Amino acid sequence: MQISAKTIGFSLLLLLGLILAFTPADTVQHKQIPIKTLLNELEQNSVYVPADELAHWIIDKEPGFNIADIRTKKDFNSYHIPGSVHFPFEQLDNIGKLDLFDKSKTLILVSNGNTKAGQAWILLKQMGFEDIFILAGGMNHWVKIFSNPEQPKGSYTDDELFTYQFRKAAGPAVMGRSLTITDSGNDMAKPKPVRRKRKKAIKKVDEGC
């Protein structure tokens, strides 16, 4: 099920109102971005990082990004992406704690799906974060493709075979287990530099909230 940006925006307006109402005036030091502008940007899919790309960053130990898991403590303790930091959705208005994240690095938001992460993305953009993205499909999609990758059947392309081989090899690392990638005869492509403005649209996957 795909949630539209308009639906996200409607619920977000209320959240923003509450946050601004209870935030001291002297702590708001950034320029407010119109909600319509943010919703339009959210619709472009360019704010979503594919699970495979993030897995590349983790395996290659790229230094230029942080992962903020906005799910509940229970969900986070049950399973989380290696290296991610728990920052529950309900605490996103805590500007002091947000200073824990280095704004010079790319910030990846992770929820169970896209909906809450989309709301959090808009809130943090309003708070001054610029290089911020959403894990496409969230943890539901992440666990699905790396714990049990679907093997190509019938007539398949080289890209489909490569994707399957990468997910199968990467699974132990990104699912929290040790990893030793064996040489299968295919060179795995290096990811692009982490800090960048994404322009290429990707297929948006929604696996829940």
Furthest-apart CA pair in the chain: how many Å? 62
Q: Strand ranges (DSSP E) for the chain? A: 48-49, 65-69, 85-86, 106-110, 132-135
φ/ψ (deg, to 5) at 98? -65, -20
Residue 204's pLDDT is what? Answer: 53
Nearest to 175 by CA among 50, 72, 60, 51: 51
pLDDT at 71 exceeding the cut of 60: yes
Tokens of 184: 């299968």
pLDDT at 188 exceeding the cut of 80: no
The whole-angstrom separation of Cα 137 and Cα 40 is 19
Q: Hunting for tokens 């971005």 — which residue is that?
A: 33
Nearest to 55 by CA among 119, 183, 146, 127: 146
φ/ψ (deg, to 5) at 132? -135, 135
Query: Given this structure, which CATH class describes domain 1-209?
Result: alpha beta
Tokens of 56: 């590349």
Tokens of 98: 């947000």
pLDDT at 183 exceeding the cut of 70: no
More confident residue, 34 or 84: 84
Residue ranges of domains in the chain: 1-209
pLDDT at 190 exceeding the cut of 60: no
User: What confidence tier does 140 reach under pLDDT thresholds 50, 70, 90?
Assistant: very high
Give me the residues paired with residue 132 across strands.
Answer: 107
Express each pLDDT in 85-125 by its tens digit: 999 998 887 766 777 788 888 999 999 989 999 999 998 88
User: What confidence tier does 207 reach under pLDDT thresholds 50, 70, 90?
Assistant: low
